[in-house]
A = this chain, B = another copy of it.
Amino acid sequence: MRKRDLLTPVGITIGFIMIMLAILSNGGQEGLAIFVDIAAIFIVIGGLIGSLFINFKFEQMKTVTKVLGEAFKKDDRDLPGLIRQFVHLSEKARKEGLLALELDLDEEVEDEFIKKGILLAVDGMEPDVIVDIMNAEIKAMEERHYRGRLIIEKAGEYAPAWGMIGTLVGLVLMLNNLEDPAGLGPNMAVALITTLYGTVLANLVFLPMASKLENKTEEEMFIREIIVEGILGVQSGQNPRILEEKLTAYLYGENSKEEDLHTDEAESHEA
């Protein structure tokens, strides 16, 4: 089971605490009540949902909660462990043959994508066909993630627009009722609250979440590319040291434990 990514709820909490502090320091406790406006919530959230309903298919809309949940989960891949696993698989394949890999597959390999790749390799498929099938899956994963993320991104675009629509509605109503100068300020305040809601939703919730999901997809794709590289190396019976060297070169961008790996490399040169 994947761990929770605490940074997402912590970040949202920090953002809201900052807004509340700003309200309390300037407007006192009664100031907080001003900022809760049911009608404003309705027009921003409701209008946003309306735009998203037009923008997406029902099947996609159903995935929203799952996609949002994804931003609260942690994907920590053990990259040096991944490379060690491929070095191990490569050594085993050279000693006992490719077919030996299939036997203990379920105990040794947890990741479904690696399993599938090894099964294809053991089945004796051509390297080109393996690359084709595995890349098709990577591309499909990217596409699927992109479609999920797109809903959050579009929500980040429509939210400020609906904030502005709410403000315009409020301003038009206020300007038609100028007889009561005492109500002028509070009415305009209410009008501005929708813009505030739209801006906060976009910049504290939707845009950072969409950006985090994009980072996660890029990372996962990067790791899967290393896996494809590794599967091919195992199948072709490549020297485990060269395979390690290659996969390690990719790793540099992902991990700061470069030093530890450097020493391994040095050894492999001496060997």
Task: Give residues in A with beta carbon < 8 Å to B.
Answer: 5, 7-8, 10-19, 21-23, 25-27, 31, 34-35, 38-40, 42-43, 46-47, 49-61, 63, 71, 74, 119, 123, 125, 129, 132-134, 136-137, 139-144, 147, 150, 154, 157-158, 161-162, 164-166, 168-178, 182, 184-190, 192-193, 195-196, 199-200, 202-205, 207-209, 211-212, 215, 222, 242, 245-246, 249-254, 256, 269
Count the copies: 5
B54 touches A204 (CB 8 A): yes
B53 touches A11 (CB 8 A): yes
A169 touches B196 (CB 8 A): yes
**In the bound complex, what is the Cα–Cα distance between A15 and B61 (angstroms)?**
16
A11 touches B176 (CB 8 A): no
A211 touches B43 (CB 8 A): no
**Assuming the A-B contacts A18-B42, A39-B22, are A176 and B185 also in contact, with contact meaning beta carbons closer than 8 angstroms in the complex?**
yes
**Assuming the A-B contacts A47-B204, A57-B7, are A178 and B184 also in contact, with contact meaning beta carbons closer than 8 angstroms in the complex?**
yes
**In the bound complex, what is the Cα–Cα distance between A133 and B265 (angstroms)?**
13
Q: How far is the CB of A271 from chain B (nearest CB, A)?
A: 11
**In the bound complex, what is the Cα–Cα distance between A212 and B10 (angstroms)?**
30
Q: How far is the CB of A148 from chain B (nearest CB, A)?
A: 11
B43 touches A19 (CB 8 A): yes
B141 touches A252 (CB 8 A): yes
**Assuming the A-B contacts A165-B199, A246-B136, A254-B140, are A46 and B18 also in contact, with contact meaning beta carbons closer than 8 angstroms in the complex?**
yes
B53 touches A14 (CB 8 A): yes
A165 touches B54 (CB 8 A): no
Contacts of A245 in B (CB 8 A): 133
B54 touches A253 (CB 8 A): no
B50 touches A12 (CB 8 A): yes
**In the bound complex, what is the Cα–Cα distance between A125 and B119 (angstroms)?**
30
Q: How far is the CB of A24 from chain B (nearest CB, A)?
A: 9
